[in-house]
A and B are shown apart, each in its own frame.
Chain A
């Protein structure tokens, strides 16, 4: 109010804050003018000349100021996400929304500020950090009489500021109590494996529901946002055994995988071998048929010519063959008829030695003398000689 006064602070220039007395005096003047006191406002009122006038006026002014200050103290601001709960003589009259508000000042009305937007948290089974467990909260008996170690976080907001304020003493403690009882009830109704593994979300959902029901029953004005299972484990004392069971599961899978790896190695390999066998067989079939056809055709062609001159052809072929045979082999020609029954010494061992490991065939020619034993023998044919044999074969062709 004084701020709008053009005189404000100007009188004394800028030598500090205006003297209260002077301001009052100034104000008195205005007041008296306002109340229609004639003229006197000009000079008379401003002086302390008349002792009665100013003191009475002063009291009025002070009362007026106090009244304004009192009325002014009724203003309050409700922040976004908050609610103002107004009590008139202790009785709840209204709940105000965010913005600038006014209530009949104290002691008639008072306002309590309640933050309903803030998400509040309660931790069960731990404090601040999941590692700092509170064992007496976190160890819970399950339906199958096992014990699990569980940490929960409950997030909630207030949905009814007046219920929150007026129905329960320490409603925030109630959340913790309710959370504990709800969790234990839900877990007490579930099997351990369900809690630890597949049922985690369901447990949280059921707990949320149960908590909300209980809190509504107490009319706490609290709404549960989320119940999250921070951690669900077997207790430390049996952790090792549980880990081992998990490991065993891994082992099982590993073993199965190894078995499958073996199968995946062996079967395709066998299929490969089988395919090769079949291919080879079909190759063989084609080969034998082709060579049979070839042989047959060759024979038939020769036969045609042979039929034209059998004798000559026969002789020629015979001589050709023997020539070819003899020219390719070492030979010893012996005329035994002269020697009669004499045994002929042939240093076969030496011949063999000169070519060790080679096969030796001794035979008399087709029309051999009866005296001659016809023997053939073969020694083991080493791989080397077989190779050499083959190379020679190639040369011959």
Chain B
């Protein structure tokens, strides 16, 4: 009994070992190549459980996801106006033909990326060489990316790869050019600042001048109106006087003169040097009543 169980155990073990080397699992994220003594005999692109001949066949797995090629350092390219720009980009690609991929780049991802980078670099050079910085940065960015993707794909097919997308990440000016851009921006701001300040001064001056004008006008108009009113008063007064005084002009003259005398001499500081000849003093000289006659 004991021997039977141990034999059973041994058998199970062997089956386990052989079985485990006879099956392989392709993950959702992978595809696999089955090699039989160096020859590719199977391409497994669908995930699942597969069988192989143990020891004779072996399997290599490749990523089936979208991979990224992100350039480490931005590279210099020259635009049509002979300006240098630093370009940083990334490429999204995936393996579509594992066999081709294995044959052309030995399934080496870095090798594949180098291949792609070369193609893309030359197409950037072509595209940028025909365009200005402005076109590259804004105007035709989308178009350039599309063209690069198409060009890259032509080459990528040869290595069993599809370029999903080529995207320009950064398009920058090199340091020395950036400096001159900064200087220009500075000058422009200075212009704006000066303009703002001087228009401010001008506006303020305008407002002040307008205020002064209004001031003058208001005062002058007020003077005019005031004079008009005063004139009305004077006229009316004159009319009143004339009407009253016309009634006896002689008496008015007399009456008015007396009034004037009263008003003219009323201070003790006024010194009158008078002769007794005046009518007032006539009785001082003689008391005769009929003097008048």
Whole-angstrom CA separation of A280 from B229 in the bound complex: 9
Residue ID in chain B nearest A262 by CB atoms: B208
Beta-carbon contact of A167 and B141 below 8 Å: no
Whole-angstrom CA separation of A170 from B258 in the bound complex: 121
Interface string of A273-287 (1 = CB under 8 A from B): 111011011101111
Q: Which chain B residues lie closer than 8 Å to A385 at the CB level?
A: 269
Beta-carbon contact of A167 and B241 below 8 Å: no
Residue A194 CB within 8 A of the other chain: no
Q: A90-B30, A292-B237 are in contact. Are A147 and B229 (CB under 8 A)?
A: no
Which of the segments B35-43, B115-123, B154-162, B191-199 contacts the partner chain?
B191-199
Q: A18-58: which have CB < 8 Å to B?
A: 52, 56
Residue ID in chain B nearest A325 by CB atoms: B265
Contact of A177 among B68, B266, B270 (CB under 8 A): B68
Q: Which chain B residues lie closer than 8 Å to A326 at the CB level?
A: 272, 274, 280
Q: A270-B214, A289-B236 are in contact. Are A91 and B280 (CB under 8 A)?
A: no
Smallest beta-carbon distance A7→chain B, Å:
30
Whole-angstrom CA separation of A319 from B226 in the bound complex: 42
Residue A62 CB within 8 A of the other chain: no
Whole-angstrom CA separation of A334 from B206 in the bound complex: 73
Q: A285-B229, A330-B272, A364-B273 are in contact. Are A168 and B66 (CB under 8 A)?
A: yes
Q: A87-B27, A214-B167 are in contact. Are A281 and B185 (CB under 8 A)?
A: no
Q: A210-254: which have CB < 8 Å to B?
A: 214, 217-219, 234-235, 237-238, 241-242, 244-245, 247-249, 251-254
Q: B168-213: which have CB < 8 Å to A?
A: 168-173, 178-179, 181-182, 185-186, 189-190, 192-194, 196-197, 199-201, 203-208, 210-212
Beta-carbon contact of B137 and A372 below 8 Å: no
Residue A389 CB within 8 A of the other chain: yes
Beta-carbon contact of A234 and B185 below 8 Å: yes
Give the interface SS of chain B, mostly helix, strand, loop or mixed: helix
Beta-carbon contact of A322 and B261 below 8 Å: yes
Contact of A288 among B67, B178, B182, B233 (CB under 8 A): B233
Q: A259-B204, A284-B233 are in contact. Are A180 and B169 (CB under 8 A)?
A: yes
Task: Report, as a range, how many residues of chain A touch the other chain.
Answer: 35 or more
Beta-carbon contact of B170 and A267 below 8 Å: no
Beta-carbon contact of B219 and A274 below 8 Å: yes
Beta-carbon contact of B266 and A256 below 8 Å: no
Q: Which chain B residues lie closer than 8 Å to A142 at the CB level?
A: 137-138
Residue A75 CB within 8 A of the other chain: no
Residue A359 CB within 8 A of the other chain: yes
Q: Which chain B residues lie closer than 8 Å to A282 at the CB level?
A: 229
Q: Which chain A residues lie closer than 8 Å to B265 at the CB level?
A: 325, 328-329, 361
Interface string of A318-362 (1 = CB under 8 A from B): 111110111011111111110000000010100100010011111
Q: Which chain A residues lie closer than 8 Å to B186 at the CB level?
A: 237-238, 241
12 A–B contacts from the bound complex (CB under 8 Å): A147-B173, A218-B164, A235-B182, A238-B182, A245-B190, A259-B205, A270-B215, A277-B219, A296-B243, A297-B244, A330-B269, A359-B270
The 10 closest A-B pairs by CB, nearest first: A285-B233, A252-B200, A274-B222, A281-B226, A296-B244, A259-B204, A292-B237, A263-B211, A259-B207, A248-B193
Beyond contacts A169-B67, A177-B70, A307-B248: 5 other A-B pairs, Cβ-Cβ < 8 A, are: A143-B137, A169-B63, A169-B65, A184-B168, A251-B196
Enumerate chain A interface residues (CB-CB to B < 8 A).
52, 56, 59, 87-92, 107, 136, 139, 141-143, 145-147, 165-170, 173-174, 177-178, 180-181, 184-185, 188-189, 214, 217-219, 234-235, 237-238, 241-242, 244-245, 247-249, 251-256, 258-260, 262-263, 266-267, 269-271, 273-275, 277-278, 280-282, 284-289, 291-293, 295-297, 299-300, 302-303, 306-307, 310, 314, 317-322, 324-326, 328-337, 346, 348, 351, 355, 358-369, 372, 385, 389, 392-393, 396
